[in-house]
Chains A and B, each alone.
Chain A
Amino acid sequence: MSPQSRDAVDQGTSAPRPPRAAIEDTDEQIFGKVFDRGIMRRFIGYVAPYRRRLWLAIGCVVLFTASQLAIPLVIGLAIDRALATDAMDSRLLLMTALAFAAVIAVNAAANLGQDIIVGKTGERVLYDLRRAMFAHLQRLSMSFMDKTEVGRLMSRLQGDIGALQEFLDTLVTSIGDILLLVGIVAVLLYLDVQLAGLTLSVVGVLLIVRIVWLPPARRAFVRARQASSIVNGALAENINGVRTVQEMTREAINFARFEHKARDYLKATLRAAKFSQIMIPIVDTLTGTALAIVIFAGGTRVLDGTLELGVMVAFVFYVQRFFDPIRSLTAQYSVMQRAMASGQRIFEVLDVTADVVDKSSAIDLREIEPSIEFRHVSFGYVPGRPVLHDVSFKAAPGEVIALVGPTGSGKTSTAALIHRFYDVWSGQVLIGGHDVREVTQHSLGRQVGMVLQEPFLFTDTICENIRYGNRAATQDQVIDAAKAVGAHDFIMQLPLGYDTPLEQRGANLSLGQRQLISFARALIADTGILILDEATASIDSYTEQAIQLAMRRLLTGRTAVVIAHRLATVRNADRIIVLQDGRIVETGTHHQLVEQRGLYHRLHAMNYASFDDVCETEALGATSPTTAT
C-alpha cells in the first residue's frame, strides 16, 4: 500500500475529520526512466557552453584513472624488480620510488582538476538552468501563472535543480568509475589471464545479487522519500497555520498526528537503511573471496615460479579497489532515475510556450491618446466556457469608468485584457486606437498601470518599492509621489524614513499603508491609463478616507478603469458599467442607473457594501430589471 493510501485510511478510521497535512504531490510518485535520451540531449544543451572545460575534466578523469591504475603496478614493480630478485638493486628502487612520486603527483593534480572543474561547471550549469527557468517564467502568460502554484514552481526551481546537480556530480564520477573498472580488468588480464579470469568470476556473482536486490530496495527508497515529504508537508502546514492551531487548541491532536507521520517516516527510512546496508557484507564477502583466490591460486603459482610475486601483490591491490566502482555505479542508478524525473519536470516548464507574445510586426506605443476601447470582446479561460460575451465599451481620455457586478461577472477579466495579460477569443481591445496585439507588451505596460487589491510589496526599502515602476525616478520624485497620496507622514515616522526596509512583503506596515505605497508606486510609473482592481477592499474607514483622497490624486488626468468594491468609489466615476455573467447589463452615471431601477439600483437599495456576496445571499432573479422594485 502506498503511503498516500495508508494516510487516507488512517484518516478515515482513527480521527474522522482531520485536515490532511498536505495533499500529496503526485509528481513525487512519478519515478522517471533511468535514462531518457530526450532529456539527456536537452540537458547536454546546457552543458555545451562549457564544452572545453568538460573535455578538460574528462582528460583529468582519464589521467586520474590511469594514475590510480599505475600505483599498484609501480609497487608491484618495485617488489619484483628491486626487492624480490636475488640482485636487490637500490638504484632501481630509487627509480621506482621516483616513478611512484611522479605518478602520485599526476594523480593528485588530475584528481584536483577533475573535482574542481566538474564541481564548478556543474554549479554553473545549474545556475544557468535556474536562470533559464526563471527568465522563462517571466515571459509566460498569466493564464499559465494563474493556474500554477508558486510553491510548485519553487520546488522545481529548487528541488529539481538540486536533483540535477547531484546527477551532474555523479555523472563524471560514473565516467571515472567505468574507466577504472575497464582499466582494472584490462590490467589484470594483461598481468595474468588465468588469475584474472578466476578473480573476475566473483564479479558475476555480485551482478546477480544486485539484480535481485534492486527492485525491492528501490521500492523502499521511494517509500522513504514519500514519507519524508509527508512529514515535511505537515510541519509546514502547522507553521503556517500556527495561530489557528492555537486558537482552536488543536495542539494535542496535531501533535499526535504529526508523531504518527514522523514514526511512519522513521520506519520507512530504517527499512531503506537495511536495504542499503545489506550490500556491505555481501560485497565484503565477495572481496574476501576474490582475495582468497588471489592468495591461494596466485600464491601456489608463485611457489611454482609461474607468477611473479609483484604481480600477486598488484592483484591484491587491484582486487580491493575493484568493488568500489561497481558499488558506486549501482548506487548512481537511483540518482540517475531521480535526475531524469527532475529533468522532465524542469523541461516541462521550459516547454510551456507563452501564448501572449509580441508579433514580429509589433510596434512600440509612444505618444498615444489614453483611450480604451473594447469591440465585441469575448473571452474565457477554459475553452467552451466564455467569461465575457460580446463586451463593447469605450473610455475617452481622462474618463473614469467603474466596473461593478457580482463575483464572477467578469470585472477582473475585463481589466486584465486591457493590460493584455490574456488574448481575447474574438473582438478587439484597443488602446489609443491600437489593437493591444499589434504593439509590444513592453510599451503597452508603459501606458497601462495597475493597482491591485492586495498591495504586493517587495522586500526592499520603501523608496525602492515606490520606484518599482520607474527606476529612473529621483528621491525627490519619490517623496513628491508619497506626499501626493498622503503616505509621506507615516513614512517619515518610520525609523529610517524612506530607507526603511520592508519586512516579508511589508509585514511591518498596515494594509492601508501598504496600499498607499502601492498608489505612490502607480503614481510614479505615470501611465496614461490606470486600472484599479478592488484597490480599496478590506480597508477600515479611517484609512479609506486617506485612500479615497489618494485615489482622486492618482486618477487626475488619467483614463481609468476602476473595479469597485464599495459604492463610494462607484458613485464618483464618470460612468458605471454593470456586468453580470460576462455581459454588460447597464451603463450610465450613478444617478442614471438609480433612475433606471435595474440591477444597480437593486444592489444599491439592498444596502450592500460590496457586490461580492450578492449571488449567494440573495435570489438570483435579479437579471431582469422588472423583478427589482
Chain B
Amino acid sequence: MSIPAAEPAAGSEEATGKTAASPPVVSANVILRILRMAARHRVGMALGILCAVVAANFQLLIPRYLGDAVDHAQGLLARTASGRDVAEAALWTTALLVLGAGVMRGVFTMLQNYLGESLGHRIGYELRLAYFEKLQRLSFGYHDRVHSGDLITRGMLDVEGVRRFLENAVFRTITLAVLVGYGGYHVVSIDPVLGTLALSFVPFVAWRAAVSRLWLRRTWRTLQERLSELTRIMEENLGGIKVVRAFVAQAFELAKFDRASSAALAMSLRRIDLRYRNGAAMSLAYYTAMGLVLWVGGSKVIEGALSVGTLAEFLTFMAILQQPVRQIGMIVNSAARGSISGARVFEVLDLEPAIRDQPGAQALAITQGVLRFEHVDFSYRSDGVPLVLRDVTFEVGPGRTLGIVGPPGSGKSTLAHLVARFYDVRAGRITIDGQDIRHVTLDSLRACVGVMQQDTFLFSASIQNNIAYGDPEVAEERIAEAAESAQLHRFVERLPARYETLVGERGLTLSGGQRQRLSIARSLLPGPKVIVFDDSTASVDAGTERQIRAALRELGKARTTLIISHRLGSLMHADEIVFLDGGRIVERGTHAELLALGGRYRGLYDLQVRGADASPPGASLSESSRAQ
C-alpha cells in the first residue's frame, strides 16, 4: 500500500544508517517537509489560508469602526447640536458594522481554527499510519538495535508534536502576518510616524522569538533526555523490585531517583525561566510601543494634527495585536517541538527496510520443500566483522530432520533467523525448492516457514486469539488441532474459560513451558512446510517434547524440519546433525557417526551423560538421553 507520508527522499540505508545517534537534522528542512505534507491537502490548506486572511481582515476592520465611532461621538461635541441626527445615524451604522465585523471574524476564525485542527489531525493520521507500516516492515536488524520504548515514544508523542505544530502554528502565523503586515500598512499610511511607533515592537518580538526558538529547542531536547532517564530509572526499579528488595537497595534507588529527578527539575525550571522571561520581554516591548503611541499621538491631537478617533483606532489596533503577539511564544514553542518531533518521526520513515521484496518477486512455489544452504556467510554488521556464519552448506528434504548443535554464540539461532529471511545472507544463498529466498515474496516465504523461537511474545488476548494470530479467520477445530500437536490442548481444556482464557500482560500467567507450547501452536497453525525449532522446547520437559515431535510426525505431512537445541536428546534422532562452532560446520553426520568420530559432538555427549552420574552439569540432558 502506498502511504503518501512515506517520502523516501532522504532515504538512509537502514543497514548502514545508525538510528540511535543520528546527525542533527536541520530544523528548517523538517518544518518545510511537514508543510509540504500539509500542502498535499490542497483544498483544506487553501481554505485555511483564505479563512486566516479573511478573519484577520475583519479583525482589522474593528479598530477602524471604533475610531469612527469615537470621532462621530466627539465630532458633535465639538460642533453644535444641529447635526445630532446625522451623528446618531453614523453611530448606528458604526455599531452595526462593528457587530457585523465581529460576527464575520468569529465565523472565519472558527473555520480557520477548525481547518487547522483538521489539517493537523489528518497529517497526524497519515504519519501514524506511515510510521506503523514502516515499523512493521523494518527488519529484525533494526529492531535489535533500537529500544522499543523509543519507538513507542516517537509514534505517540512525536507524531503528536507534529500535529500540534500544524494545528497551532501554521494558520496563526498567517493571521499574525496579515494583522501586522496589512494592519501595519494601514496605520503607517494614516500617520507614518505614529504607525511606525505602533509597529516598533514587532522587530524586537521577532528577534526574541528567533533567539528563544534556539534556546527552547535545546532546553526541550535536554529536558526530554533527562525525563526519559527518569522514566527509565522508575521503570527499572518497578520492574526489578524484587532485586531492589532482595538487596535492600531502596535507599540507593531513591538516591538514584533523586539525582535524575533534580537534574530534570533543573531543566524544567530553566525552561520556565526562558519561556516566561521571553514572554515578559515581548509584552513589555508591546506596552512600551503603546505608551509611545499614546504620548506622541496625544501630542499630535493637542497640536490638532490627529483626531482623537484616529488615536483610538491606533490603540485599538494595538489591543488587537496583543493576543497574536502573545501567541508568538506559543507558535515558536510548537515550531521548535514540531521540528524536533518531525525529525524523529521522519528518521524512521526514511529508513528503507533492509529486508524487502525485490521488484518483480514471485510467490514461493513449493513443490517438495527442499531447504538448501549454499556456502552461506552472515554477519550482523554491514562491514562483515565478525562473521557469524561462514560457508555453511547443507540440504534438508521433506520428511527429514536436520539437527544443529553447538556452543552458545556458534550461530545456531542466527541460522534459524536466516531461513525465514529475517536477515539477509552476506554471501552464498538459501533456497527452497531451488528458489533463492531473496527472490520470492516475503509473505509467501514466511507463510511456509515456521520458526519457533525460544523467546516467546504473547499478546494480551485469549489463548484462542493468540494461536490464531497468523490466521484470524481460521476455524476453531484447527486451533484445537494445533494446540493438540503442541501438547497444550489438555492444559487449556482444564482452564475454566478454556480457549477464551486471557493470557499476556493482563491475563493468566503461564509458565515458560506453557508459553513455548502456545507459541509452537501458533506457528503450527498456518501449516508451514519448513519448520525450525530454535531451542523452542528449552523450557518444555523432555517427555512433552517427545510428544510434540511425535504429534508432528503423525500429522503426516512431509515437512522439512530443522531442530536447533542444546539438548542432545532433542536432536539425536535427526537424519543428520551438524555441529557448529564459530559459525562453521565442524562436524556432520548421524548421531552414531558423530559419536564414532570422537570429536566435539562426542565431547558434548560425554559431558552431558557423565553429568548425570557424577557432578551436576546437564542432568536434564542426560535424563532425556538415557531414556532412549
CB interface residues, B 435-493, toward A, < 8 Å: 442-443, 446-447, 451, 453-454, 457, 459-462, 464-466, 468-470, 472-474, 487, 490-491
Tell whether A28 is near chain B: CB-to-CB under 8 Å: no
Point out the residues of chain B lying under 8 angstroms from A288, CB to CB.
98-103, 106
Tell whether A82 is near chain B: CB-to-CB under 8 Å: yes
Tell whether B174 is near chain A: CB-to-CB under 8 Å: no
Contact B102 A284 (CB under 8 A): yes
Q: Which of B212-220, B249-257, B383-391 contacts A (4 or more CB under 8 A)?
A: B249-257
Contact A281 B103 (CB under 8 A): yes
Residue on A nearest B280 in the bound complex, by CB: A112
Q: Give how many A residues have a beta carbon under 8 Å from the other chain's beta carbons.
A: 161
Contact A116 B88 (CB under 8 A): no
CB interface residues, A 86-126, toward B, < 8 Å: 88-90, 93-94, 96-97, 100-101, 104-105, 107-109, 111-112, 115-116, 119-120, 123-124
Tell whether A421 is near chain B: CB-to-CB under 8 Å: yes
- Given A239-B155, A521-B247: A108 and B312 interface contact (C-beta under 8 Å): no
Tell whether B164 is near chain A: CB-to-CB under 8 Å: no
Measured CB to CB, the closest approach of chain B to A513, in angstroms, equals 9
Q: How far is the CA of A545 from the CA of B149 in the complex (A)?
A: 35
Q: What sequence of 0s and 1s flags, for each residue 448-468 of chain A, a beta carbon within 8 Å of any chain B beta carbon?
A: 111010001011000000001
Measured CB to CB, the closest approach of chain A to B619, in angstroms, equals 3
Tell whether B245 is near chain A: CB-to-CB under 8 Å: yes
Interchain residue pairs with CB less than 8 A apart (25): A83-B301, A93-B295, A116-B272, A116-B277, A123-B265, A127-B261, A127-B262, A131-B257, A134-B254, A138-B250, A154-B238, A232-B156, A244-B522, A248-B469, A250-B470, A262-B129, A284-B109, A292-B99, A309-B77, A313-B70, A317-B315, A543-B408, A607-B543, A610-B513, A612-B541
- Given A281-B103, A291-B99: A607 and B542 interface contact (C-beta under 8 Å): yes
Point out the residues of chain B lying under 8 angstroms from A607, CB to CB.
542-543, 623-624, 626-627
Q: How far is the CA of A96 from the CA of B619 in the complex (A)?
A: 97
Q: How far is the CA of A149 from the CA of B272 in the complex (A)?
A: 33
Chain B at the A interface: SS class: helix
Contact A16 B248 (CB under 8 A): no
Contact B95 A609 (CB under 8 A): no
CB interface residues, A 416-458, toward B, < 8 Å: 419, 421, 441-442, 445-446, 448-450, 452, 456, 458
Point out the residues of chain A lying under 8 angstroms from B72, CB to CB.
299
Contact A452 B246 (CB under 8 A): yes
Contact B442 A309 (CB under 8 A): no
Tell whether A215 is near chain B: CB-to-CB under 8 Å: no
Q: Could you list 12 further interchain pairs (A-B, Cβ under 8 angstroms) beyond the known A19-B460, A255-B129? A: A17-B474, A93-B295, A96-B294, A131-B261, A238-B136, A312-B73, A316-B316, A452-B246, A540-B535, A566-B619, A607-B623, A613-B511
Contact A571 B619 (CB under 8 A): yes
Contact B276 A249 (CB under 8 A): no
- Given A244-B469, A250-B470, A613-B513: A299 and B73 interface contact (C-beta under 8 Å): yes
Q: What sequence of 0s and 1s flags, for each residue 235-276 of chain B, a beta carbon within 8 Å of any chain A beta carbon?
A: 111111111111111101110011001101100110011011
Tell whether B572 is near chain A: CB-to-CB under 8 Å: no
Contact A291 B247 (CB under 8 A): no
Q: How far is the CA of A136 from the CA of B617 in the complex (A)?
A: 43
CB interface residues, A 48-90, toward B, < 8 Å: 71, 75, 78-79, 82-84, 88-90
Point out the residues of chain B lying under 8 angstroms from A542, CB to CB.
407-408, 566
Tell whether A587 is near chain B: CB-to-CB under 8 Å: no
Point out the residues of chain B lying under 8 angstroms from A236, CB to CB.
152, 155-156
Point out the residues of chain B lying under 8 angstroms from A284, CB to CB.
102-103, 105-107, 109
Contact B620 A320 (CB under 8 A): no
Tell whether B113 is near chain A: CB-to-CB under 8 Å: yes
Contact B608 A245 (CB under 8 A): no
Q: Give 7 nearest A-B pairs by CB, closest first.
A: A288-B102, A284-B106, A19-B461, A445-B248, A568-B619, A281-B106, A609-B620
Contact B99 A246 (CB under 8 A): no
Contact A239 B276 (CB under 8 A): no
Tell whether B527 is near chain A: CB-to-CB under 8 Å: no
| Cβ-defined partner of B299 (8 Å) among A93, A127, A138, A235 | A93
Contact A285 B98 (CB under 8 A): no
Measured CB to CB, the closest approach of chain A to B571, in angstroms, equals 13
- Residue picked from A17, A150, A612, most chain B C-beta under 10 Å: A17
Q: What sequence of 0s and 1s flags, for each residue 396-419 of chain A, a beta carbon within 8 Å of any chain B beta carbon?
A: 000000000001000000000001
Contact B616 A75 (CB under 8 A): no
Q: Which of B120-128, B175-183, B336-344, B586-594 contacts A (4 or more CB under 8 A)?
A: B120-128
Contact A283 B106 (CB under 8 A): yes
Q: Which of B4-12, B189-197, B282-290, B372-380 contacts A (4 or more CB under 8 A)?
A: B282-290
- Given A302-B77, A450-B242: A20 and B316 interface contact (C-beta under 8 Å): no
| Cβ-defined partner of B242 (8 Å) among A142, A263, A617 | A142
Tell whether B431 is near chain A: CB-to-CB under 8 Å: no
| Cβ-defined partner of A134 (8 Å) among B118, B257, B502 | B257
Contact A537 B542 (CB under 8 A): no
Q: How far is the CA of A20 from the CA of B241 in the complex (A)?
A: 29
- Given A281-B107, A313-B70: A90 and B623 interface contact (C-beta under 8 Å): no
- Given A277-B114, A309-B73: A82 and B302 interface contact (C-beta under 8 Å): yes
Q: How far is the CA of A239 from the CA of B135 in the complex (A)?
A: 7
- Given A266-B121, A299-B91: A572 and B616 interface contact (C-beta under 8 Å): yes
Q: Which of B29-37, B140-148, B202-210 contacts A (4 or more CB under 8 A)?
A: B140-148
| Cβ-defined partner of A239 (8 Å) among B87, B152, B283, B473 | B152
Point out the residues of chain A lying under 8 angstroms from B468, CB to CB.
17
| Cβ-defined partner of B77 (8 Å) among A93, A139, A305 | A305
Contact A120 B77 (CB under 8 A): no
Contact A137 B238 (CB under 8 A): yes
Contact B523 A295 (CB under 8 A): no
Q: How far is the CA of A616 from the CA of B457 in the complex (A)?
A: 22
Contact B465 A19 (CB under 8 A): yes
Point out the residues of chain B lying under 8 angstroms from A263, CB to CB.
125
Residue on B nearest A512 in the bound complex, by CB: B408
Measured CB to CB, the closest approach of chain B to A492, in angstroms, equals 16
Contact A541 B269 (CB under 8 A): no
Measured CB to CB, the closest approach of chain A to B416, in angstroms, equals 11
Measured CB to CB, the closest approach of chain A to B166, in angstroms, equals 13
Contact A139 B250 (CB under 8 A): yes
Contact B308 A83 (CB under 8 A): yes
Tell whether B298 is near chain A: CB-to-CB under 8 Å: yes
Contact A273 B114 (CB under 8 A): yes
Point out the residues of chain B lying under 8 angstroms from A123, CB to CB.
265, 268-269, 272
| Cβ-defined partner of B408 (8 Å) among A232, A458, A540, A617 | A540
- Given A93-B299, A246-B136: A75 and B294 interface contact (C-beta under 8 Å): yes
Q: How far is the CA of A102 from the CA of B250 in the complex (A)?
A: 55
Measured CB to CB, the closest approach of chain B to A300, in angstroms, equals 6
Tell whether A591 is near chain B: CB-to-CB under 8 Å: no
- Given A246-B136, A288-B100, A313-B312: A608 and B91 interface contact (C-beta under 8 Å): no
Q: How far is the CA of A572 from the CA of B457 in the complex (A)?
A: 34
Measured CB to CB, the closest approach of chain B to A466, in angstroms, equals 11
Measured CB to CB, the closest approach of chain B to A370, in angstroms, equals 16
Contact A300 B91 (CB under 8 A): yes
Residue on B nearest A229 in the bound complex, by CB: B156
Contact A83 B143 (CB under 8 A): no
Point out the residues of chain A lying under 8 angstroms from B103, CB to CB.
281, 284-285, 288
Measured CB to CB, the closest approach of chain B to A266, in angstroms, equals 5
Point out the residues of chain A lying under 8 angstroms from B538, CB to CB.
538, 540
Measured CB to CB, the closest approach of chain B to A462, in angstroms, equals 15
Tell whether B361 is near chain A: CB-to-CB under 8 Å: no
| Cβ-defined partner of B451 (8 Å) among A150, A245, A247, A282 | A247
Tell whether A259 is near chain B: CB-to-CB under 8 Å: yes
Tell whether A474 is near chain B: CB-to-CB under 8 Å: no
CB interface residues, B 528-585, toward A, < 8 Å: 535, 538-544, 547, 566-567
Tell whether A258 is near chain B: CB-to-CB under 8 Å: yes
Point out the residues of chain B lying under 8 angstroms from A111, CB to CB.
279-280, 283
Q: How far is the CA of A471 from the CA of B138 in the complex (A)?
A: 42
Q: How far is the CA of A435 from the CA of B273 in the complex (A)?
A: 55
